[in-house]
Amino acid sequence: MGFIRQVIVIMQKDLRAELRSKEAINAALSFALVILLMFSFAFDPSAEQTREISGGLLWIVFAFAGALILNRSFSREQPNDCLDALIAAPISGAALFLGKALANCVFVLALEAVCFPLFGIFYNTHWTAQFWPLVMVAVLGTWGFTVIGTIFSALTVNLRLREVMLPLLIYPLMIPCLMAAMQLTAHLIAGQPLSGDILVWLRLLIGFDVIFTTLALILIDTVLVG
Amino acid sequence: MREKLIYVLATAASLLLARNLAMIFLHLPDEASQGMIYRIIFFHVPAWWTAMLGAIVALVASVLFLVKKDFRHDSLAVAATEVGLAFLTIGLVTGTIWARIIWGIWWTWDARLTSALICWILYGGYLILRRTVDEPTQRATLAAVYSIFAFVDVPIVWFSIRWWRTQHPQPVFGQGGFLEADMKSTLLWNFLAVGLIGVILLLIRLQQEENLREIDALRRETHAIS
């Protein structure tokens, strides 16, 4: 079985397990909905303010709700010692990691696909002016988020206080990625094109993705096996 | 042997520091535009450099631990991180005091200050992570992996005043440096003094970590015998 095939098998396994139980995705979706509602009660913004805060608001929702999905990614394998079986399976740690990261990325993107229209409805905002650039930013930001989240999901799986430690460790690490995604999203929702000063954030986002994906692929075996 | 070295270094550091303090407070004149508060630079800049060296030593020690699995490297990584964090705190505190006088505000969210604060949170997270793992090998491995991830922020802090237009003053050395020869030489001497204090603290922390490990080993031995 080739590397790509292994990655796809792991991803399919995770997607299927989650779609059958729906425990993480349901929790994350309802949590995202609650945060979106709370923000609209708390700030009651005008149209102009909404465009300004849109990036920050949406990515905080994705980061908070996404953490619920990431928390489950490796802890799901704990009952019946599934994690030990996965590590012992004849696939590399990198394939296991990539498969899980891709599955998490799909879940968080699905969450975002629900949140963007909801945001448009609740906050009465036209958000599709720069649709495809926005999709690209969402994919890049989500990949950065899930790469960090997945490797730290593996790192914290055996810790005491796992649910607390994961957000505590990953949010500070993600700040450059989230900050870039927030700036770009606010910029695109305001209908402005991707050019000029804003490109420095796009470069930061891409650089973040490349650096952390490489680091995670190098270090995953150490995290899993020790 | 190491104890004697600590005493020698401590004597040298205190003599040097006394000389520098006399120079800073008694001999050097006030700076033309900033008045007397500019003197904080003699502690602010060396503290940041020492903190950065601490981060680099922690990174190298962490990588060496993952390669060689020698617990001495783990001790070095903890010691360097803790000492680095202490100097990071000094850097942040002296920076905010300076900002209050010169800018009129304690804090502003520009790229340099933000990335520096993230750095502080990241290395704080390292120390929290260590406390949540009981098994020594696992603790050292996970902490080393986290330390490598955390280090990615350090270059961002370094380059932030070059990448973004920030309120933070440009480097005092190289192009655009504003210091006179007298002030520059005092600053260089204080680099040495503050750096020496860093080394002394590092050596003391290293000794403590090694004692701790020895006590742990003895305790386990008695547990095995009885």
Give the closest residue to A142 by CA, choosing from A208, A222, A225, A77: A208
Is the pLDDT confidence value at A84 over 80?
A: yes
B162 has a chain A CB within 8 A of its CB: no
Burial letters for B202-213: b for 16+ Cβ neighbours within 10 Å, e otherwise? bbbbbeebbeee
Domain definitions of chain B by residue range: 2-23+41-225
ipTM above 0.85, yes or no: yes
Nearest CA in chain B to A168: B125
- Residue B109 binned pLDDT confidence (cut-offs 50, 70, 90): confident
Residue A145 confidence (pLDDT) above 90: yes
pLDDT at residue number B127: 93
A158 pLDDT more than 90: no
pLDDT at B172 exceeding the cut of 70: no
- pLDDT for B171 equals 66
- Report how far residue A66's alpha carbon sits from residue A120's, in angstroms, rounded to the nearest whole number: 20
Split at pLDDT 50, 70, 90, the class of B7 is very high
pLDDT digits (tens, 9 = 90+) for A19-71: 998 888 999 999 999 998 888 888 877 778 888 888 899 999 999 999 999 99
Check CB contact of B132 with chain A, cutoff 8 Å.
yes
Smallest Cβ–Cβ distance between A159 and the set B132, B141, B153 belongs to B132
B208: closest CA of chain A, how far (Å):
25
pLDDT at position B158 over 80: no
Question: Model pTM greater than 0.90?
Answer: no
Q: Tell me whether residues B142 and A155 touch, CB distance under 8 A.
A: yes
Residue in A closest to B119 by C-alpha: A172
Mean pLDDT of B17-26: 88
Answer yes or no: do B132 and A161 touch at CB < 8 A: yes
Comparing CA positions, the residue from A145, A165, A140, A143 lying closest to residue A155 is A165
Q: To probe the interface with A, which of B146, B161, B166 has the most A CB atoms within 10 Å?
A: B146
Please, is A58 exposed, middle or buried when counting C-beta atoms within 10 Å of its C-beta (0-12, 13-18, 19+)?
A: buried
> At B173, is the pLDDT very low, low, confident or very high (cuts 50, 70, 90)?
low
Which among B198, B208, B212 has a CA at the least distance from the CA of B85?
B198
Reported as a single tens digit per residue, the pLDDT across B48-101 is 999 999 999 999 999 999 999 999 999 999 999 999 999 999 999 999 999 888
Report, as an integer, the average pLDDT of A131-147: 94
pLDDT > 70 in chain A, percent:
100
pLDDT at residue A82 is higher than 80? yes
